[in-house]
Structure 1
């Protein structure tokens, strides 16, 4: 299979040259890995953040394999990959087990590398899959760690702090006065719609239907979902749009929903910094923007909402990812029962 322009994540490929036994590229990865990344980008519509994780996993594996073969990762050939057999796969899994990696990281590494080898078999590059028949080593561990989330009281305190200028200097108060309604609307959207920060920042003005009270969200893999617009989200957004003092504000359906005082669309990093600043002011130092999404999912589970409904609201690919919120709800129920003496 021939591949043309590689994705932005794969732009470290500078030159290609054909050698007996396979392709070699001047890159941190062999060309088969670059081709696999491009396949994931084109066929599955993976976004840059996901591709970066895939690239990191592939680079980690290729460094390990190249080290055993005493060569550079970019010089790995098809013959080298074909020589990676089931014993090699077991040695790599043992190497992963010896490292202090989070269970979710080990699980993702397995998924990425085993998926790469399955792809090479399907493409006719390799004759057999060294991972075929091996048991996934960390299956089931990825959901053992319960999510960090805000209590109802903490969430309300955060929303109050966003609008308050208590503890700020006169200069900070002036800046805060211009941003508070935007930031309050952003935090409210994260808390009451359960969006990923990238989804929230990617909202367009036309995605919000105030009359029908719906919110159109583009999630991972460009998958679209239509959410009911929570009353508090609607109120916060209307206040933001009515009072925004910046030189630009959304008017056309394709306009970004969030803007900066400099007249530029709000970026993901800037949004994360803004949310983190308010969390810190509220005394919630360990929390982050993503924890507001966890708060949404947890509160739904505690309210007895069906996991399949929570899955659709959060935009999870499978209900297995949503299962973590059931564990949280069960823990809270157990804590309540244990209070009886």
Structure 2
């Protein structure tokens, strides 16, 4: 924890209260194109109290320089900018308010408590406390102005050796950089040591261990697009084990019922997963549905349009088939018949937000249910020899996809009547695949 009562000014400095308003001067590199095709690099800066900007010429390139020579000129201009910035900020560095590490952390924590959320202030409090304790244990500087890039780089290596992922380490360094930027604005520091520290490279994909031999480096792909296993990243090159063989794919009706078979002892979970699979609802849409959205007279499920701030706001009517009626009956018996269809489970968050956790052991996600719904409709439309253009419009309406700006402006919300033949064929296709 950070001590809030610490005196953040050093007692031995008698002149710490002078020139507290000295601010860091920023120097920028400005390019100026010339008529002969050359480029002139200028340094541009502004001083407090002055109404104009100051310029200083650095160099001028040859006419029409190549990309390689242009990079050399840019490097020279960057070095000149850095030297000029160090020269201009010498006064700010000499007269910035001395501040010890614990005091700087306490000042920034009070700023976060007053201007940021509670979670942000608590996260930064833990990070700053860990960074200060690590510096103290290594005999590092006691003043915040003594922290250098070497200290931050060593702290980065310490986090990586402790087992933190590259993404987490990058987040920690970004938070430290925000802390130092705030200190610079308050004249408590004169430079940001995190700015020029190399960040760890984040690996693409999710590197896992092979479930058979333990080799690390296997990357799971949720969908395999017709490639042999030996060329797939989910294939282990050490023991030859196919990681996707452990999971359950879901492209046919039989595989859909196999997934539901994993929840035989939990009827409410089974009904929720099944409802998302046979309606193609988004999780947010399913969580907002009330029982008043079910129209038993014409067997229609009315999905209201979302708010104007949301991009997923396409309302629609989905015909209810016999399979959907079975899932709704289970949800009505096990839930609140007057509230939400997918209401809270035991006082917790809506059960639709837990679907991904239920499907994670099978290497599936909640969006795979929506993907299955569209794939199945396209399969049924092809087998029933429905016109492809007409089937595409109907499927887009059932999915809630806005196919085009013109069509969305002139076509009203579908009443679901055109989609009923396709949905009835989809229901028969599902029942035929049930074993």
Normalised by the length of structure 1, the TM-score is 0.47
Normalised by the length of structure 2, the TM-score is 0.39
- Name whichever structure is richer in helix by fraction: 1
